[in-house]
Structure formats: C-alpha cells, structure tokens
C-alpha cells in the first residue's frame, strides 16, 4: 500500500463500523420501544448496563466517523508516509474503545480495551494535528 493509498483502511473500517453501530442503535431503539419488556428497559435506560449500551453506540459512531475523516485527510495531506501510517493505525486501534465497552457489557471483559482505544484515538487526533501544523504544504 503506497503513500497515496494510506487512509483507505480507515475509510473501510470507518464505514463498516458506522454501519454496525447504526444497526446496534436500531436494536437499542427496539429494546426501548417495542420489545416485550420495553417498559422495564426504558425505566432503567439511564443507568447500569443500559447506559453502557448507549455509550458504546455513541462512541462507536463517533470513532467510526473520526476514522472516515482521518482516512480522507490522509489521502489528501502532504505529510510523510510514516506519519500517515502512525495516525492511521492509531485511529483504527481507537475502535477498541467502543468495542471494549461492548465486550465489557456482553462478556464482562476487562476495561483495558476501552482505555487502550481511548488513548489511541486521542493520540491519532493529536498526532494528525501536530503533523499538519509542522507540514509546509497542507492544501486539501
């Protein structure tokens, strides 16, 4: 994968993740409004596992969107291939945050994935901003 193609994987991951977390959102709407136990779900909607379910949905879509934006920018920006690779992989690893929330919710997994994902996504956004600020030619 050459310098001009860096960012493609972020676009692919971003669009697939967004579609998946959107479908998950439809499931949450069903559970809240239409499922046989919808009243009980709605009553506990703001706390515990229901809160975590919503948190995964929101962050999943946000981080998917960030991967789409980052992927597009990596196609267009005039920064080095190594810089593009670093930002790209950090953003993809950032998806561990919402996936980690789901793993906690569904499998009682450790929150370490949430922390790793949050750190990686934050680092990718910070590093991209830093690389752009140091670049001589950032015309998009």
Looking at residue 2, what is its pLDDT? 53
Which residues, given as ranges, of the chain have pLDDT below 70? 1-4, 138-140
Domain residue extents for the chain: 3-134
Say if residues 66 and 7 touch (Cβ distance below 8 Å): no
| 121-125-131-132 Cα dihedral, nearest 10 degrees | 150
Say if residues 64 and 118 touch (Cβ distance below 8 Å): no
Q: How far apart are CA 82 and CA 68, in angstroms?
A: 19
Q: What is the pLDDT of residues 73-93, one digit of tens each?
A: 999 898 999 999 999 999 999
For residue 108, the Cα-to-chain-centroid distance in whole angstroms is 20
Looking at residue 98, what is its pLDDT? 97
- The answer to whether the pTM exceeds 0.85 is yes
Q: How far apart are CA 7 and CA 68, in angstroms?
A: 9
Looking at residue 1, what is its pLDDT? 45
């Amino acid at each position: 994968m050459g310098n001009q193609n860096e960012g493609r994987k972020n676009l692919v991951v971003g669009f697939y993740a967004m579609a998946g977390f959107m479908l998950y959102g439809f499931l949450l709407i069903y559970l809240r409004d239409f499922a046989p136990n919808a009243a009980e779900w709605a009553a506990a909607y703001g706390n515990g596992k229901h809160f975590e379910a919503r948190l995964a949905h929101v962050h999943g879509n946000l981080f998917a969107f960030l991967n789409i934006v980052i992927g597009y920018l990596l196609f267009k920006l005039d920064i080095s291939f190594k810089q593009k690779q670093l930002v790209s992989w950090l953003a993809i690893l950032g998806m561990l945050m919402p996936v980690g929330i789901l793993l906690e919710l569904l499998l009682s997994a450790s929150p370490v994935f949430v922390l790793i994902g949050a750190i990686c996504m934050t680092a990718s956004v910070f590093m991209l901003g830093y690389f752009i600020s140091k670049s001589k030619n950032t015309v998009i």
